[in-house]
């Protein structure tokens, strides 16, 4: 049973396609999954709690409170689920999800869920192509959610176009693929070292030189490598991100020098090195012992070059497959290729600040990968998916 033991939380919103959910629940249960259904108040116009609970073998909730006066915990359901599927997802529910308009059990549960979220939109064709729907779907995608696109066909309105919720078989296949991909342990036995986040270079006890890197790309890479069975050593500068994978050893450092020292504690044992950190190029020559007072009209801080961690990794490379990042604002491709050579890398990932949604802070990224002989450009995607693309490419190179 391909979904054995998987916990699937289905949120049904008020669209005519809700009737299809019965078939999907039956298939999930047949394949060994546990299913919990919740619904928006409007969904009750289309399907009944009774039919859904009969098929899912669990009570179905639409409200925070049950008729017997008990509380339906959105937090518990959100944390219970391995995945959440919102199907059918109406324009209204989609909009509430991406804007945090938390006025129902479904949205509160969605906002409490830490698991991957799948969205199967269903609406009339004009609503589906409306800029607000498009924007909301893009936003959902940028949160790392998986969109199962609506299909083309006859709609409840009688019109023909795109907007029909994907068929239960298509939704089932997308979810099975997700769980199967999860178990594709392609990096078992490999150790992957990843640098992430910015570095902070102290000026005095309270100030530093830093940059806007969030660490998201590096943490997504660590999570993805861990899913694939790798042992991950994640060395991060100051970042609010948390690592989710089980086999990730996370070391938090502050400055470039600390990052360098930590990298070289492990470097010899590593199969793949990925430098996604935005390391400060320069650090103050002297760190003032006391907080610098604002006395003079101007203040000069002398900076000295920081170690180039990746370049040092390249120089000392014995067997490691080395991946660098390049964030460029001009002559992007040329500069990336020069870095590939100069730092003795096997692969470089270029993200250009010119691409909207790419680079620092964003949840999305748009990359182009170069090796000495190949190049490949990717679309704008969530950083989780970009991490998967990067590791697919690394694995492909290692297989050669």
Cβ closer to ligand C5P: 223 or 332?
Answer: 332
Of 122, 256, 270, 350, the residue at the interface with ligand C5P (CB under 6 A) is 256
Tokens 């391995």 belong to residue: 82
Phi, psi of 209 (to 5 degrees): -105, 125
Given the rule CB under 6 A, which of 7-15, 94-102, 245-253, 307-315 is the region that contacts ligand C5P? 307-315
Of 90, 136, 306, 352, the residue at the interface with ligand C5P (CB under 6 A) is 306
Given the rule CB under 6 A, which of 114-122, 129-137, 302-310, 367-375 is the region that contacts ligand C5P? 302-310
Restricting to residues 142-201, which ones interact with ligand C5P according to CB under 6 A? 195
Distance in Å, CB of 336 to ligand C5P, minimum? 9
Cβ closer to ligand C5P: 136 or 195?
Answer: 195
Distance in Å, CB of 343 to ligand C5P, minimum? 7
What sign has the CA pseudo-torsion 203, 208, 211, 213?
A: positive
* Radius of gyration of the CA atoms of the chain, in A: 24
Cis peptide before 167 (omega within 30 of 0): no
Burial 310-345 (b: 16+ CB within 10 A, else e): bbebbeebeebbbbbbbbbeeebeebbbebbeebeb
Q: Binding-site residue total for ligand C5P (CB under 6 A)?
A: 15
Among 382, 373, 372, 375, which Cα is nearest to 350's?
Answer: 375
Cβ closer to ligand C5P: 271 or 281?
Answer: 281
Structure tokens at 37: 């259904």
Among 69, 52, 169, which Cα is nearest to 120's?
Answer: 169
Cβ closer to ligand C5P: 136 or 351?
Answer: 351
Rounded Cα gap, residues 170 and 378, in angstroms: 25
Given the rule CB under 6 A, which of 84-92, 156-164, 246-254, 306-314 is the region that contacts ligand C5P? 306-314
Catalytic residue among 92, 211, 335, 344: 211
Helix extents (H) in 143-202:
168-182
Please tell me the number of Cα atoms within 13 Å of 372 on its side-chain side. 8
Based on the shown chain and the rule CB under 6 A, indicate whether residue 277 belongs to the binding site for ligand C5P: yes
Based on the shown chain and the rule CB under 6 A, indicate whether residue 325 belongs to the binding site for ligand C5P: yes
Cβ closer to ligand C5P: 97 or 310?
Answer: 310
Rounded Cα gap, residues 274 and 345, in angstroms: 10
Rounded Cα gap, residues 170 and 180, in angstroms: 15
Query: CA dist 28 to 57, 180, 211, 220, 399, Å?
Result: 12, 15, 46, 28, 35
Of 309, 347, 390, 394, the residue at the interface with ligand C5P (CB under 6 A) is 309
Tokens 């450009």 belong to residue: 377
DSSP string, 209-245: E-----SHHHHHHHHHHHHTT-EEEEEESS-S-----
Given the rule CB under 6 A, which of 39-47, 143-151, 324-332, 370-378 is the region that contacts ligand C5P? 324-332
**Element (DSSP H or E) covering residue 30:** helix 21-30
Rounded Cα gap, residues 94 and 134, in angstroms: 10
Based on the shown chain and the rule CB under 6 A, indicate whether residue 324 belongs to the binding site for ligand C5P: yes
Distance in Å, CB of 396 to ligand C5P, minimum? 20
Distance in Å, CB of 215 to ligand C5P, minimum? 12
Binding mask 84-113 for ligand C5P (x = CB under 6 A): ------------------------------
Based on the shown chain and the rule CB under 6 A, indicate whether residue 310 belongs to the binding site for ligand C5P: yes
Based on the shown chain and the rule CB under 6 A, indicate whether residue 275 belongs to the binding site for ligand C5P: yes
Cβ closer to ligand C5P: 128 or 219?
Answer: 219
Based on the shown chain and the rule CB under 6 A, indicate whether residue 214 belongs to the binding site for ligand C5P: no
3-class SS at 371?
coil
Told to judge if 211 belongs to the known catalytic residues of this protein, a careful annotator would answer yes
Cβ closer to ligand C5P: 25 or 277?
Answer: 277
Restricting to residues 326-385, which ones interact with ligand C5P according to CB under 6 A? 326, 339
**Contacts to ligand C5P by CB under 6 A:** 195, 256, 275-277, 279, 281, 306, 308-310, 324-326, 339
Active site (catalytic) residues: 211
């Amino acid at each position: 049973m391909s979904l054995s033991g998987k916990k699937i939380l289905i949120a049904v919103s008020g669209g005519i396609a809700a009737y299809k959910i019965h078939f999907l629940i039956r298939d999930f249960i047949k394949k060994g999954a546990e299913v919990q259904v919740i619904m928006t108040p409007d969904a009750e116009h289309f399907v009944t709690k009774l039919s859904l609970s009969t098929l899912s073998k669990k009570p179905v909730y639409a409200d925070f409170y049950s008729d017997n006066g008990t509380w339906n915990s959105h937090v518990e359901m959100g944390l219970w689920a391995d995945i959440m599927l919102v199907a059918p997802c109406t324009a209204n529910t989609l909009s509430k999800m991406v804007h945090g308009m938390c006025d129902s059990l479904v949205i509160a549960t969605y906002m409490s869920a830490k698991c991957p979220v799948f969205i199967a939109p269903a609406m009339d064709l004009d609503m589906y192509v409306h800029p607000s729907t498009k924007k909301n779907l893009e936003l959902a995608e940028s949160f790392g959610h998986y969109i199962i696109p609506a299909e083309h066909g006859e709609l409840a309105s009688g019109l023909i176009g795109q907007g029909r919720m994907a068929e239960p078989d298509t939704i089932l296949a997308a979810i099975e693929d997700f769980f199967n991909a999860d178990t594709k342990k392609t990096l078992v036995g490999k150790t992957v070292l990843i640098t992430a986040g910015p570095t902070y270079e102290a000026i005095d006890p309270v100030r530093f030189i830093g940059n806007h890197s969030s660490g998201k790309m590096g943490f997504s890479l660590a999570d993805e490598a861990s899913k694939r069975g790798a042992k991950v050593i994640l060395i991060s500068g100051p970042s609010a991100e948390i690592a989710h994978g089980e086999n990730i050893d996370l070391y938090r450092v502050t400055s470039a020098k600390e990052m360098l020292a930590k990298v070289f504690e492990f470097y010899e044992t590593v199969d793949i090195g990925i430098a996604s950190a935005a390391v400060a190029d320069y650090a103050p020559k002297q760190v003032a012992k006391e907080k610098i007072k604002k006395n003079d009209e101007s203040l000069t801080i002398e900076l000295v070059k920081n170690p180039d961690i990746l370049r040092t990794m390249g120089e000392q490379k014995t067997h490691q497959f080395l991946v660098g990042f390049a964030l460029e604002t001009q002559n992007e491709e040329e500069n990336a290729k020069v870095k590939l050579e100069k730092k003795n890398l096997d692969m470089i990932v270029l993200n250009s600040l010119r691409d909207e949604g790419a680079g620092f802070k964003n949840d999305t990224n748009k990359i182009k990968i170069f090796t000495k002989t190949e190049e490949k450009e990717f679309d704008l995607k969530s950083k989780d998916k970009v991490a998967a693309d990067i590791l697919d490419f690394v694995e492909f190179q290692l297989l050669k």
